[in-house]
């Protein structure tokens, strides 16, 4: 069983991790043990097995420039926070280190996990939402594919 003893407790802690290394990803999961045992994800539309775990990259992009790493981390969490709501109770963000082994159907990285850093605490999710929603030119929301037709 994967240890939850090291919970990422603040955006500052997550930002420090991002400044110190490359190859970190966020994996949204209810059962990381099960995900790791399977070694890959499954395409929800077709059921196709994917060669790695779908994850969101956390590496800072060069174009981000001198903007705060804390804001980068907040946005990366916020962008996909709808996954907690859509996938139901118990889903949380996990910071993983890994290597990219392919791309999924939404062009997301598929990774082979080399290290579980830890889960992101609920307080960090609230901190991220507060920071992003407090930006002056906030015109985006969490990525959400729900449509009304």
Domain ranges of the chain: 11-133
pLDDT of 22-73, one tens digit each? 999 999 999 999 999 988 888 889 999 999 999 999 999 999 999 999 999 9
Contact (CB, 8 A) for 54 and 80: no
Query: pTM for this structure?
Result: 0.87
Contact (CB, 8 A) for 30 and 93: no
pLDDT of 70-117, one tens digit each? 999 999 999 888 888 888 788 999 999 999 999 999 899 999 999 999
Give the sheet arrangement for strand 53-54, strand by strand: 53-54, 109-119, 92-103, 24-29, 56-57
Classify residue 6 by its DSSP letter: S
């Amino acid at each position: 069983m994967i240890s939850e003893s090291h919970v990422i407790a603040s955006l500052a802690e997550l930002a420090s991790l991002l400044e110190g290394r490359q190859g970190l990803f966020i994996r949204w999961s209810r059962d990381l043990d099960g995900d790791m045992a399977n070694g890959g994800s499954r395409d929800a539309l077709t059921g196709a097995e994917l060669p790695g775990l779908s994850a969101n990259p956390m590496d800072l992009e060069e174009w981000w420039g001198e903007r705060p790493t804390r804001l980068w981390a907040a946005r990366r969490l916020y962008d996909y926070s709808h996954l907690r709501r859509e996938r139901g109770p118990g889903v949380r963000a996990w910071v993983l280190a890994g290597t990219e082994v392919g791309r999924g159907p939404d062009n997301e990285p598929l990774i082979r996990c080399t290290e579980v850093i830890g889960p992101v605490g609920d307080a960090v999710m609230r901190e991220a939402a507060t920071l992003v929603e407090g930006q002056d030119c906030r015109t985006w929301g969490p990525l959400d594919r729900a449509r009304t037709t």
